[in-house]
Structure 1
Amino acid sequence: MEMIGRLALAAALGSVIGLERERLLWAAGLRTHMLVCVGACLFMLVSAFGFGDILGHDRVVLDPSRVAAQVVSGIGFLGAGTILLRGEVVRGLTTAASLWAVAAIGLAAGGGLYVAALTATGLVFGILAGMKPIEERWRDRSQSRALRIVARAGCLTLDTVQAVSGQPLSRIKRFVVQPGAVENSEEVRIAFARLSSEHLAEIARRLREQPDVTSVEIEDR
Protein backbone atom coordinates (compact mmCIF):
# COMPACT_ATOMS: atom_id res chain seq x y z
CA MET A 1 0.00 0.00 0.00
CA GLU A 2 2.90 2.35 0.70
CA MET A 3 4.29 1.78 -2.80
CA ILE A 4 0.86 2.28 -4.40
CA GLY A 5 0.44 5.51 -2.48
CA ARG A 6 3.80 6.82 -3.66
CA LEU A 7 3.03 5.98 -7.29
CA ALA A 8 -0.39 7.66 -7.02
CA LEU A 9 1.17 10.75 -5.45
CA ALA A 10 3.73 10.92 -8.25
CA ALA A 11 0.94 10.74 -10.85
CA ALA A 12 -0.98 13.52 -9.11
CA LEU A 13 2.04 15.80 -8.77
CA GLY A 14 3.08 15.18 -12.37
CA SER A 15 -0.43 16.07 -13.55
CA VAL A 16 -0.20 19.49 -11.87
CA ILE A 17 2.85 20.41 -13.94
CA GLY A 18 1.49 18.68 -17.04
CA LEU A 19 -1.76 20.68 -16.96
CA GLU A 20 0.21 23.92 -17.08
CA ARG A 21 2.12 22.73 -20.15
CA GLU A 22 -1.08 21.33 -21.71
CA ARG A 23 -2.68 24.77 -21.37
CA LEU A 24 -0.02 26.15 -23.73
CA LEU A 25 -0.50 23.24 -26.20
CA TRP A 26 3.05 21.90 -25.90
CA ALA A 27 3.84 18.41 -27.21
CA ALA A 28 4.88 17.30 -23.72
CA GLY A 29 1.65 17.89 -21.87
CA LEU A 30 -0.46 16.21 -19.19
CA ARG A 31 0.10 12.55 -20.04
CA THR A 32 3.82 12.95 -20.75
CA HIS A 33 4.51 14.65 -17.42
CA MET A 34 2.43 12.12 -15.52
CA LEU A 35 4.23 9.21 -17.18
CA VAL A 36 7.65 10.72 -16.48
CA CYS A 37 6.80 11.32 -12.84
CA VAL A 38 5.31 7.84 -12.30
CA GLY A 39 8.21 6.21 -14.16
CA ALA A 40 10.79 8.06 -12.09
CA CYS A 41 8.91 7.10 -8.93
CA LEU A 42 8.93 3.44 -9.96
CA PHE A 43 12.65 3.58 -10.68
CA MET A 44 13.15 4.98 -7.19
CA LEU A 45 11.04 2.20 -5.67
CA VAL A 46 13.04 -0.41 -7.56
CA SER A 47 16.24 1.26 -6.41
CA ALA A 48 15.10 1.34 -2.78
CA PHE A 49 13.33 -2.02 -2.43
CA GLY A 50 14.01 -4.12 -5.52
CA PHE A 51 17.33 -5.59 -4.43
CA GLY A 52 16.64 -6.40 -0.79
CA ASP A 53 16.71 -10.17 -1.33
CA ILE A 54 20.28 -10.26 -2.63
CA LEU A 55 21.98 -7.43 -0.77
CA GLY A 56 22.65 -9.60 2.27
CA HIS A 57 24.40 -12.36 0.33
CA ASP A 58 28.13 -12.87 0.55
CA ARG A 59 30.31 -11.71 -2.33
CA VAL A 60 27.49 -9.51 -3.68
CA VAL A 61 28.50 -5.90 -4.22
CA LEU A 62 25.59 -3.76 -5.37
CA ASP A 63 24.74 -0.08 -5.26
CA PRO A 64 20.97 0.28 -5.79
CA SER A 65 21.22 4.09 -5.82
CA ARG A 66 22.77 3.90 -9.29
CA VAL A 67 19.32 3.03 -10.70
CA ALA A 68 17.91 6.35 -9.51
CA ALA A 69 21.02 8.19 -10.65
CA GLN A 70 20.51 7.03 -14.23
CA VAL A 71 17.08 8.70 -14.30
CA VAL A 72 18.77 12.12 -14.11
CA SER A 73 20.73 11.52 -17.31
CA GLY A 74 18.23 9.21 -19.00
CA ILE A 75 15.39 11.74 -18.93
CA GLY A 76 17.46 13.88 -21.29
CA PHE A 77 16.23 12.06 -24.41
CA LEU A 78 12.65 13.15 -23.70
CA GLY A 79 13.73 16.70 -23.01
CA ALA A 80 15.69 16.83 -26.26
CA GLY A 81 12.56 15.82 -28.16
CA THR A 82 10.70 18.91 -26.96
CA ILE A 83 13.38 21.40 -28.05
CA LEU A 84 12.79 22.94 -31.47
CA LEU A 85 14.82 25.41 -33.52
CA ARG A 86 12.62 27.82 -35.44
CA GLY A 87 14.77 30.19 -37.42
CA GLU A 88 17.06 31.77 -34.86
CA VAL A 89 14.73 31.08 -31.92
CA VAL A 90 15.03 28.00 -29.70
CA ARG A 91 11.67 26.81 -28.34
CA GLY A 92 10.85 24.11 -25.81
CA LEU A 93 13.68 24.60 -23.31
CA THR A 94 11.22 25.36 -20.51
CA THR A 95 9.20 22.21 -21.23
CA ALA A 96 12.41 20.16 -21.29
CA ALA A 97 13.36 21.63 -17.90
CA SER A 98 9.87 20.87 -16.54
CA LEU A 99 10.24 17.22 -17.59
CA TRP A 100 13.59 17.07 -15.83
CA ALA A 101 12.07 18.64 -12.70
CA VAL A 102 9.08 16.26 -12.81
CA ALA A 103 11.48 13.31 -12.90
CA ALA A 104 13.13 14.65 -9.75
CA ILE A 105 9.69 15.03 -8.13
CA GLY A 106 8.93 11.41 -8.99
CA LEU A 107 12.21 10.28 -7.43
CA ALA A 108 11.40 12.25 -4.27
CA ALA A 109 7.91 10.74 -4.06
CA GLY A 110 9.31 7.26 -4.64
CA GLY A 111 11.87 7.79 -1.88
CA GLY A 112 9.20 8.86 0.60
CA LEU A 113 10.29 12.50 0.68
CA TYR A 114 6.71 13.76 0.58
CA VAL A 115 7.38 17.27 1.87
CA ALA A 116 10.16 17.78 -0.67
CA ALA A 117 7.99 16.41 -3.50
CA LEU A 118 5.02 18.63 -2.62
CA THR A 119 7.18 21.72 -2.14
CA ALA A 120 9.01 21.16 -5.42
CA THR A 121 5.69 20.74 -7.25
CA GLY A 122 4.42 24.04 -5.86
CA LEU A 123 7.65 25.82 -6.78
CA VAL A 124 7.80 24.39 -10.31
CA PHE A 125 4.14 25.24 -10.96
CA GLY A 126 4.67 28.76 -9.60
CA ILE A 127 7.70 29.27 -11.82
CA LEU A 128 5.93 28.01 -14.95
CA ALA A 129 2.63 29.84 -14.43
CA GLY A 130 3.52 32.84 -12.29
CA MET A 131 6.79 33.94 -13.84
CA LYS A 132 5.65 33.73 -17.48
CA PRO A 133 3.84 37.12 -17.52
CA ILE A 134 6.88 38.80 -15.97
CA GLU A 135 9.20 37.10 -18.46
CA GLU A 136 7.02 38.08 -21.41
CA ARG A 137 6.79 41.69 -20.22
CA TRP A 138 10.56 41.89 -19.89
CA ARG A 139 11.11 40.19 -23.26
CA ASP A 140 8.63 42.56 -24.89
CA ARG A 141 10.64 45.52 -23.63
CA SER A 142 14.07 44.12 -24.50
CA GLN A 143 13.60 42.72 -27.99
CA SER A 144 14.59 44.52 -31.18
CA ARG A 145 11.82 46.24 -33.20
CA ALA A 146 12.00 47.78 -36.64
CA LEU A 147 10.28 50.42 -38.78
CA ARG A 148 10.16 50.63 -42.58
CA ILE A 149 9.84 54.24 -43.74
CA VAL A 150 9.37 55.69 -47.20
CA ALA A 151 10.27 59.38 -47.35
CA ARG A 152 11.74 62.10 -49.53
CA ALA A 153 15.41 61.49 -50.25
CA GLY A 154 17.72 63.00 -47.70
CA CYS A 155 15.08 64.12 -45.23
CA LEU A 156 15.65 61.38 -42.62
CA THR A 157 18.91 61.30 -40.71
CA LEU A 158 19.92 59.82 -37.38
CA ASP A 159 19.56 63.23 -35.75
CA THR A 160 16.08 63.64 -37.21
CA VAL A 161 14.97 60.22 -35.98
CA GLN A 162 16.43 60.91 -32.55
CA ALA A 163 14.59 64.23 -32.34
CA VAL A 164 11.27 62.76 -33.42
CA SER A 165 11.47 59.56 -31.39
CA GLY A 166 12.97 61.05 -28.26
CA GLN A 167 15.17 57.97 -27.92
CA PRO A 168 18.97 58.12 -27.46
CA LEU A 169 21.19 57.05 -30.33
CA SER A 170 22.22 53.99 -28.32
CA ARG A 171 18.68 52.60 -28.81
CA ILE A 172 19.03 52.70 -32.61
CA LYS A 173 20.48 49.32 -33.48
CA ARG A 174 20.38 49.63 -37.27
CA PHE A 175 19.81 52.49 -39.74
CA VAL A 176 19.74 51.41 -43.40
CA VAL A 177 18.91 53.73 -46.32
CA GLN A 178 18.06 52.41 -49.79
CA PRO A 179 16.77 54.07 -52.97
CA GLY A 180 12.98 54.10 -53.13
CA ALA A 181 10.73 52.83 -55.90
CA VAL A 182 9.63 56.39 -56.68
CA GLU A 183 12.01 59.03 -57.97
CA ASN A 184 13.50 61.32 -55.30
CA SER A 185 12.44 58.94 -52.52
CA GLU A 186 14.25 56.54 -50.28
CA GLU A 187 13.38 53.57 -48.09
CA VAL A 188 14.74 53.66 -44.55
CA ARG A 189 14.79 50.71 -42.16
CA ILE A 190 15.38 51.56 -38.52
CA ALA A 191 15.77 48.92 -35.81
CA PHE A 192 15.40 49.93 -32.16
CA ALA A 193 16.78 47.89 -29.28
CA ARG A 194 15.06 47.49 -25.90
CA LEU A 195 11.88 49.25 -26.99
CA SER A 196 8.30 48.25 -26.15
CA SER A 197 5.61 47.87 -28.80
CA GLU A 198 3.72 50.84 -27.34
CA HIS A 199 6.75 53.13 -27.69
CA LEU A 200 7.38 51.91 -31.23
CA ALA A 201 3.77 52.64 -32.22
CA GLU A 202 4.12 56.15 -30.79
CA ILE A 203 7.34 56.75 -32.76
CA ALA A 204 5.63 55.52 -35.93
CA ARG A 205 2.75 57.94 -35.32
CA ARG A 206 5.14 60.87 -34.89
CA LEU A 207 7.05 59.98 -38.04
CA ARG A 208 3.82 59.81 -40.07
CA GLU A 209 3.15 63.42 -39.06
CA GLN A 210 6.37 64.58 -40.71
CA PRO A 211 5.64 66.41 -44.02
CA ASP A 212 8.36 64.58 -46.01
CA VAL A 213 7.39 61.07 -44.84
CA THR A 214 5.15 59.07 -47.22
CA SER A 215 4.55 55.92 -45.17
CA VAL A 216 5.67 54.20 -41.97
CA GLU A 217 5.21 50.47 -41.35
CA ILE A 218 6.06 48.38 -38.30
CA GLU A 219 7.96 45.28 -39.35
CA ASP A 220 7.35 41.93 -37.67
CA ARG A 221 10.49 40.50 -36.04
Structure 2
Amino acid sequence: MFEVTTVHIMIRLTLATVIAGIIGSDREYKNRPAGIRTHILVCLGACVIAMIQQEIAAQNVQFALHHLAIATTIRSDQARLIAQVVSGIGFLGAGTIVVTRHKIQGLTTAASLWATAGIGLAIGMGYYQIAVISAVFVIFVIVFLKKIIHINTLKKIEIKYKHKLETKEFIQTYFEEHHIQIRDVNFSVTQNERDTIYTNVYRIEIPREMQYSEIVEDISMNKNIMTIRMVSI
Protein backbone atom coordinates (compact mmCIF):
# COMPACT_ATOMS: atom_id res chain seq x y z
CA MET A 1 0.00 0.00 0.00
CA PHE A 2 1.60 3.27 -1.08
CA GLU A 3 0.78 6.95 -0.80
CA VAL A 4 -1.07 8.50 -3.74
CA THR A 5 1.32 10.96 -5.41
CA THR A 6 0.55 13.76 -7.86
CA VAL A 7 1.68 11.59 -10.77
CA HIS A 8 -0.63 8.79 -9.66
CA ILE A 9 -3.54 11.20 -9.35
CA MET A 10 -2.99 12.59 -12.85
CA ILE A 11 -2.63 9.17 -14.46
CA ARG A 12 -5.71 7.73 -12.77
CA LEU A 13 -7.96 10.69 -13.45
CA THR A 14 -6.82 10.88 -17.08
CA LEU A 15 -7.43 7.17 -17.59
CA ALA A 16 -10.84 7.43 -15.94
CA THR A 17 -11.73 10.35 -18.22
CA VAL A 18 -10.62 8.59 -21.41
CA ILE A 19 -12.26 5.24 -20.70
CA ALA A 20 -15.53 6.73 -19.43
CA GLY A 21 -15.50 9.16 -22.37
CA ILE A 22 -15.27 6.32 -24.89
CA ILE A 23 -18.17 4.49 -23.26
CA GLY A 24 -20.21 7.68 -22.88
CA SER A 25 -19.65 8.76 -26.49
CA ASP A 26 -21.32 5.59 -27.72
CA ARG A 27 -24.29 6.17 -25.40
CA GLU A 28 -24.56 9.82 -26.48
CA TYR A 29 -24.41 8.94 -30.16
CA LYS A 30 -27.31 6.55 -29.64
CA ASN A 31 -29.17 9.27 -27.70
CA ARG A 32 -29.34 7.35 -24.43
CA PRO A 33 -30.18 9.31 -21.23
CA ALA A 34 -26.61 9.19 -19.83
CA GLY A 35 -24.11 10.69 -22.26
CA ILE A 36 -20.39 11.37 -22.35
CA ARG A 37 -20.27 13.96 -19.55
CA THR A 38 -22.41 11.89 -17.19
CA HIS A 39 -20.22 8.83 -17.67
CA ILE A 40 -17.02 10.80 -17.13
CA LEU A 41 -18.29 12.57 -14.02
CA VAL A 42 -19.42 9.33 -12.40
CA CYS A 43 -16.11 7.67 -13.22
CA LEU A 44 -14.14 10.65 -11.87
CA GLY A 45 -16.18 10.67 -8.67
CA ALA A 46 -15.58 6.96 -8.13
CA CYS A 47 -11.88 7.43 -8.86
CA VAL A 48 -11.61 10.28 -6.33
CA ILE A 49 -13.27 8.22 -3.59
CA ALA A 50 -11.07 5.21 -4.37
CA MET A 51 -7.94 7.36 -4.05
CA ILE A 52 -9.19 8.74 -0.74
CA GLN A 53 -9.68 5.20 0.54
CA GLN A 54 -6.16 4.24 -0.52
CA GLU A 55 -4.72 7.34 1.11
CA ILE A 56 -6.53 6.51 4.35
CA ALA A 57 -5.14 2.99 4.32
CA ALA A 58 -1.61 4.26 3.65
CA GLN A 59 -1.86 6.71 6.56
CA ASN A 60 -3.08 3.98 8.89
CA VAL A 61 -0.13 1.79 7.95
CA GLN A 62 2.28 4.66 8.56
CA PHE A 63 0.65 5.41 11.89
CA ALA A 64 0.94 1.78 12.97
CA LEU A 65 4.62 1.62 12.00
CA HIS A 66 5.51 4.77 13.91
CA HIS A 67 3.34 4.15 16.96
CA LEU A 68 3.69 0.44 17.64
CA ALA A 69 3.09 0.95 21.35
CA ILE A 70 -0.44 2.26 20.96
CA ALA A 71 -1.43 0.90 17.52
CA THR A 72 -2.84 -2.29 19.03
CA THR A 73 -5.14 -0.36 21.40
CA ILE A 74 -6.74 1.93 18.77
CA ARG A 75 -9.47 0.77 16.47
CA SER A 76 -10.72 3.26 13.92
CA ASP A 77 -12.49 3.09 10.60
CA GLN A 78 -12.01 6.47 8.96
CA ALA A 79 -13.77 5.36 5.80
CA ARG A 80 -17.06 4.67 7.60
CA LEU A 81 -18.42 8.20 7.31
CA ILE A 82 -17.18 8.41 3.72
CA ALA A 83 -19.33 5.40 2.88
CA GLN A 84 -22.34 7.19 4.37
CA VAL A 85 -21.68 10.28 2.27
CA VAL A 86 -21.28 8.24 -0.93
CA SER A 87 -24.60 6.45 -0.42
CA GLY A 88 -26.40 9.50 0.92
CA ILE A 89 -25.47 11.78 -1.98
CA GLY A 90 -27.23 9.32 -4.28
CA PHE A 91 -30.59 10.35 -2.83
CA LEU A 92 -29.80 14.02 -3.41
CA GLY A 93 -28.72 13.30 -6.98
CA ALA A 94 -31.87 11.30 -7.64
CA GLY A 95 -33.91 14.36 -6.74
CA THR A 96 -32.35 16.32 -9.63
CA ILE A 97 -33.38 13.75 -12.25
CA VAL A 98 -36.62 14.59 -14.03
CA VAL A 99 -38.31 11.91 -16.14
CA THR A 100 -40.86 13.10 -18.68
CA ARG A 101 -42.72 11.19 -21.34
CA HIS A 102 -40.07 11.57 -24.01
CA LYS A 103 -36.94 12.71 -22.17
CA ILE A 104 -34.82 12.24 -19.06
CA GLN A 105 -33.16 15.38 -17.66
CA GLY A 106 -30.76 16.03 -14.79
CA LEU A 107 -28.44 13.03 -15.07
CA THR A 108 -25.37 15.21 -15.59
CA THR A 109 -26.35 17.37 -12.61
CA ALA A 110 -26.74 14.26 -10.46
CA ALA A 111 -23.35 12.97 -11.62
CA SER A 112 -21.68 16.34 -10.94
CA LEU A 113 -23.15 16.36 -7.43
CA TRP A 114 -21.69 12.92 -6.79
CA ALA A 115 -18.27 13.93 -8.16
CA THR A 116 -18.36 17.15 -6.13
CA ALA A 117 -19.14 15.15 -2.99
CA GLY A 118 -15.97 13.14 -3.64
CA ILE A 119 -13.96 16.33 -3.97
CA GLY A 120 -15.49 17.65 -0.75
CA LEU A 121 -14.45 14.47 1.03
CA ALA A 122 -10.90 14.89 -0.25
CA ILE A 123 -10.78 18.48 1.03
CA GLY A 124 -12.27 17.53 4.37
CA MET A 125 -9.74 14.74 4.85
CA GLY A 126 -6.91 17.11 3.98
CA TYR A 127 -5.97 15.43 0.68
CA TYR A 128 -5.53 18.70 -1.16
CA GLN A 129 -3.67 17.29 -4.16
CA ILE A 130 -6.49 14.86 -4.89
CA ALA A 131 -9.09 17.59 -4.38
CA VAL A 132 -7.51 20.28 -6.56
CA ILE A 133 -6.50 18.06 -9.48
CA SER A 134 -9.86 16.28 -9.44
CA ALA A 135 -11.68 19.61 -9.38
CA VAL A 136 -9.79 20.71 -12.51
CA PHE A 137 -10.88 17.55 -14.32
CA VAL A 138 -14.52 17.89 -13.23
CA ILE A 139 -14.71 21.58 -14.17
CA PHE A 140 -13.16 20.80 -17.56
CA VAL A 141 -15.77 18.11 -18.21
CA ILE A 142 -18.72 20.31 -17.18
CA VAL A 143 -17.66 23.59 -18.79
CA PHE A 144 -15.46 22.82 -21.78
CA LEU A 145 -15.97 19.23 -22.93
CA LYS A 146 -19.24 19.92 -24.74
CA LYS A 147 -17.59 22.76 -26.67
CA ILE A 148 -14.60 20.65 -27.70
CA ILE A 149 -16.29 17.34 -28.49
CA HIS A 150 -19.57 17.28 -30.37
CA ILE A 151 -21.30 14.01 -31.14
CA ASN A 152 -24.07 13.93 -33.72
CA THR A 153 -26.64 12.02 -31.72
CA LEU A 154 -29.33 9.88 -33.27
CA LYS A 155 -32.85 11.25 -32.99
CA LYS A 156 -36.11 9.41 -33.45
CA ILE A 157 -38.83 11.47 -35.05
CA GLU A 158 -42.44 10.49 -35.74
CA ILE A 159 -44.30 12.09 -38.65
CA LYS A 160 -47.99 11.56 -39.38
CA TYR A 161 -49.23 12.77 -42.75
CA LYS A 162 -51.75 12.46 -45.58
CA HIS A 163 -51.26 12.01 -49.34
CA LYS A 164 -48.51 9.42 -49.26
CA LEU A 165 -46.50 10.00 -52.45
CA GLU A 166 -46.48 13.79 -52.36
CA THR A 167 -45.62 14.11 -48.66
CA LYS A 168 -43.11 11.30 -48.56
CA GLU A 169 -41.24 12.89 -51.44
CA PHE A 170 -41.25 16.23 -49.60
CA ILE A 171 -39.80 14.65 -46.43
CA GLN A 172 -37.13 12.76 -48.37
CA THR A 173 -36.11 15.88 -50.29
CA TYR A 174 -35.94 17.93 -47.09
CA PHE A 175 -33.64 15.39 -45.43
CA GLU A 176 -31.35 15.25 -48.46
CA GLU A 177 -31.12 19.05 -48.81
CA HIS A 178 -30.21 19.46 -45.14
CA HIS A 179 -27.80 16.49 -45.08
CA ILE A 180 -29.86 14.60 -42.51
CA GLN A 181 -28.88 10.95 -42.52
CA ILE A 182 -31.70 8.39 -42.23
CA ARG A 183 -30.45 5.36 -40.26
CA ASP A 184 -33.75 3.52 -40.02
CA VAL A 185 -37.44 4.04 -40.76
CA ASN A 186 -40.65 2.24 -39.74
CA PHE A 187 -43.96 2.61 -41.52
CA SER A 188 -47.55 2.17 -40.42
CA VAL A 189 -50.96 3.04 -41.87
CA THR A 190 -54.27 3.78 -40.17
CA GLN A 191 -57.60 4.51 -41.78
CA ASN A 192 -60.66 6.36 -40.62
CA GLU A 193 -63.88 7.43 -42.29
CA ARG A 194 -62.32 10.48 -43.92
CA ASP A 195 -58.61 9.87 -44.54
CA THR A 196 -55.80 7.39 -44.67
CA ILE A 197 -53.10 8.41 -42.17
CA TYR A 198 -49.50 7.38 -42.77
CA THR A 199 -47.00 7.28 -39.91
CA ASN A 200 -43.26 7.20 -40.46
CA VAL A 201 -40.86 6.85 -37.55
CA TYR A 202 -37.38 7.91 -38.66
CA ARG A 203 -34.12 7.38 -36.82
CA ILE A 204 -31.98 10.24 -38.08
CA GLU A 205 -28.56 11.79 -37.53
CA ILE A 206 -28.67 15.58 -37.48
CA PRO A 207 -25.71 17.72 -38.70
CA ARG A 208 -23.81 19.61 -36.03
CA GLU A 209 -24.97 23.06 -37.13
CA MET A 210 -28.66 22.14 -37.18
CA GLN A 211 -31.14 22.19 -34.31
CA TYR A 212 -33.94 19.68 -33.83
CA SER A 213 -36.46 22.53 -33.44
CA GLU A 214 -35.64 23.72 -36.98
CA ILE A 215 -36.56 20.34 -38.43
CA VAL A 216 -39.87 20.26 -36.58
CA GLU A 217 -40.74 23.80 -37.65
CA ASP A 218 -39.78 23.33 -41.30
CA ILE A 219 -41.53 20.01 -41.83
CA SER A 220 -44.66 21.09 -39.94
CA MET A 221 -45.15 23.89 -42.49
CA ASN A 222 -46.23 21.35 -45.10
CA LYS A 223 -50.02 21.26 -45.38
CA ASN A 224 -50.13 17.46 -45.42
CA ILE A 225 -48.28 17.04 -42.13
CA MET A 226 -50.65 16.23 -39.28
CA THR A 227 -48.23 15.53 -36.42
CA ILE A 228 -44.48 15.67 -35.95
CA ARG A 229 -42.71 14.92 -32.69
CA MET A 230 -39.58 13.37 -31.23
CA VAL A 231 -40.07 10.00 -29.55
CA SER A 232 -37.92 8.02 -27.14
CA ILE A 233 -35.15 6.13 -28.88
Bin for the TM-score computed over the shorter chain: 0.5 to 0.7
* Alpha-carbon spacing, 1:62–1:220, altered in 2? closer, same or farther (3 Å): same
Is it true that 1:178 corresponds to 2:178 in the alignment?
A: no
Please report how far the alpha carbon of residue 114 of structure 1 lies from its aligned counterpart in structure 2 after TM superposition.
2.1
Q: Secondary structure at the match of 2:198?
A: strand
Are the equivalent residues in 2 in contact too, given 1:150–1:186 (CA < 8 A)?
yes
3-state SS in 2 of match to 1:82:
coil
2:154 touches 2:204 (CA, 8 Å); kept in 1? yes
Residue 99 and residue 168 in structure 1: after superposition, are their counterparts in 2 closer, same or farther (change >3 A)? Answer: closer
Match of 1:193 in 2: 203
Matched, 1:121 2:149: no
1:111, 1:220 → 2: CA distance?
A: 50
2:228 is the counterpart of 1:219:
yes
* Aligned equivalent of 1:6: none
Query: What corresponds to 1:138 in structure 2?
Result: 151
SS in structure 2 of the partner of residue 189 of structure 1: strand
Give the structure-1-normalised TM-score. Answer: 0.53
Cα distance, 1:78 vs structure 2: 1.3
| Structure index of larger Rg | 1
1:70 corresponds to which letter in structure 2? Q
Distance apart, 1:111 and its partner CA:
2.6
> Unpaired runs of 5+ in structure 2?
1-52, 60-69, 207-211
Shift in CA distance, 189/133, structure 1 to aligned 2, threshold 3 Å:
farther
Shift of 1:101: 0.7
- 2:122 and 2:131 in contact (8 A); partners too: yes
8 A contact 1:145–1:195 mirrored in 2: no
Separation in 1 of the partners of 2:97 and 2:180? 37
Distance 2:154 2:132 in 1: 35
Q: Is the 8 A contact 1:204 1:218 kept in 2?
A: no
Q: Under a length normalisation based on structure 2, what TM-score does the superposition of the two structures give? A: 0.50
Q: Runs of 5+ in structure 1 lacking a partner? A: 1-43, 49-55, 209-213
Q: Percent identity?
A: 28
**Could you tell me which of 105, 126, 136 is aligned with 1:112?**
126
- Matched pairs, number: 158
